[in-house]
A and B are shown apart, each in its own frame.
Chain A
Amino acid sequence: MSALVIAEHNNLFLNAATLHTITAAVQCGGDVDVLIAGNAADAVATEASKIVGVHKVIHIDASDLGDQLAEPLAAQILAIANQYSHILAPATASGKNVMPRVAAKLDVAQISDITKIVSSDTFERPIYAGNAIATVQSIDPIKVITVRTTSFDPVRVSGGSAEITKLAPVSSPGKSDFISRDLNQSERPELAGAKIIVSGGRGLGSGEAYQELVLPLADKLGAALGASRAAVDAGYVPNDYQVGQTGKIVAPDLYIAIGISGAIQHLAGMKGSKVIVAINKDPDAPIFSVADYGLVADLFTAVPELTKAIT
């Protein structure tokens, strides 16, 4: 039995999501290999070789692998898939994109977004926006898995010394082309891995209010910025701020929800947070049912007051 982890990276650095996925892979039992498929991604392969718990790093370099397009990436994974009992990737936009392609070609089910490994063939995963947890057993010879990263601790990034094996790329279909990427640049911590998140909702009433109230508080706390779907749909903030069932799943030490009512799909994305604070003027807002500390108040006075009180 051995596991292959599909690393997520930008050809320069590993994404932290990979470190959480390796922990899950180790728990499946057996050796853990890591695949670095990229374009001139030697630095990433070296970085991966130092991770504790990694048995072997497989490095495949090709010009069409640089942008992690699903079609060429799936082709590379499939070329080595049969050597493994488990193939895992983080349940990120990239992992969710490529892994079902791999599973379908192997004629196996994919087990999506697992939160716990019960045994090498049995896993827990949330369904219905986290309102139920299913325990599922796979009867397939290869388990193709995406991992909810917030449910597994990261592995240590130094101290290991795995060998790096470079493989030649297989030819790939060439039916997709990368055109452009428009990523939001920010000095703030990334939403997915942040220790503190300040999140704003429809109660703010405008994008200006988000800038004037949420930003200063996040600055004071060194926090990442989040939002409810309602706030994103209303255009207050960009779409990648969205926390929820179909946005990002987060589990920071502290989550501050400002003017967020707490729709089921939002709660699905943040109720794993250690401490939840909710500030809302409606005492009946569902967000208070998951909050450790609730404050019924007008956010336009309470939030500046809170920002000022934090030293």
Chain B
Amino acid sequence: MKILVAVKRVVDYNVKVRVKSDHSGIDIANVKMSMNPFDEIAIEEAVRLKEAGVASEIVVVSAGPTPCQETLRTALAIGADKAILVETDIELQPLAVAKLLKAICDQEQAQLILLGKQAIDDDSNQTGQMLASLMDIPQGTFASKVLVENGKVNVTREVDGGLETIALTLPAVITTDLRLNEPRYVTLPNIMKAKKKPLEIVKPEELGVDIAPRLKTLRVDEPPKRAAGIMVANVAELVEKLKNEAKVI
């Protein structure tokens, strides 16, 4: 079985982002970039399925500017076999990414498609579901457990209030949640090996996909700041404040 994994290059999760002074967006010049953490979980899951003998090949795909190659190399170092970059400098929104991924999926004929449940930059939480929809295949979002057997995949999902398990006919799209697995550390020998693995580059035009943005960002602002609070000396003072000043208890 072939698995396709989609990964996104995002501002590293440890970076405290800053809004540009002209309010046109986030300042990402000279900021550390990394693989979206949820996508790292998706790659890890694919590699575990391969190690377990369920999967035979893992293709990793990213879409965006040239430096996304680094993100793909990281995925190859974790254990993917082959990488594809859909290269473009145009701002990509989830619908456009889903269409690009569909074009790649049509070529690759993967049985299982894994993606992170959301990217930590735009927090959209859309691409996996959109891809499943465009391909007319079922989806298992927010997965905390994945079990492939008999041409089906059972997905345990993190839902409001607990967990839910569904069974999907293959091919299917799965989006990964935090507790699905803990991604391995990439070792130096694997980084070296990853450099020799194939990385193919295609352009959106070659895939015949219209990637024009549908949402226009008019401005980006800092969130409203909370007024500075106070430190209380002890529990008695805290209770007094909550009762008489905040009046919440």
Contacts and interface: CB of A to CB of B under 8 A. Distances in A.
A19 to B, nearest CB: 15
B109 interface: no
A181 B136 contact: no
Given A127-B220, A239-B158, A288-B231, A176 B169 contact: yes
B65 to A, nearest CB: 19
Interface centre among A71, A94, A175 (most CB of B within 10 A): A175
Interface residues of B, number: 79
B23 to A, nearest CB: 9
Nearest to B227: A292
A225 to B, nearest CB: 13
A306 to B, nearest CB: 5
A181 B164 contact: yes
A175 B169 CA distance: 5
Interface stretch (B44-52, B81-89, B115-123, B198-206): B115-123
B138 A302 contact: no
Given A71-B138, A175-B168, A246-B178, A96 B125 contact: yes
A192 interface: yes
Q: Contact size class for A?
A: 35 or more
B94 A100 contact: yes
A81 to B, nearest CB: 13
Contacts of B127: 100
B99 to A, nearest CB: 9
A108 B164 contact: no
Interface string A191-228: 01000100000000000000000000000010000000
A93 B232 contact: no
Contact of A294 (B157, B160, B232): B232
A259 to B, nearest CB: 15
Nearest to B167: A177
A233 B139 CA distance: 25
Contacts of B161: 183-184, 190, 240
B9 to A, nearest CB: 15
Contacts of B220: 127, 132-135
Interface in A145-199: 173, 175-184, 190, 192, 196
B95 A103 contact: yes
B230 A294 contact: yes
Interface in A219-249: 221, 229, 232-233, 238-240, 245-246, 248
A105 to B, nearest CB: 5
Contacts of A97: 129, 139, 141-142
A296 interface: yes
B234 interface: yes
B16 A100 contact: no
Interface stretch (A31-39, A46-54, A274-282): A274-282
B232 A132 contact: no
Q: Return the 3 tightest CB-CB contacts between A and B, nearest first.
A: A100-B129, A109-B214, A104-B130
Interface of A: 67, 69-71, 74, 92-94, 96-105, 107-113, 122, 126-140, 173, 175-184, 190, 192, 196, 221, 229, 232-233, 238-240, 245-246, 248, 253-254, 264-265, 271, 274-277, 288, 290-297, 302, 305-306, 309-310
Interface of B: 11, 13, 16-17, 19, 26, 93-95, 98, 117-118, 120-134, 136-142, 144, 154, 157-169, 172, 177-179, 214-223, 226-227, 229-232, 234-236, 238-239, 241-242, 246, 248-249
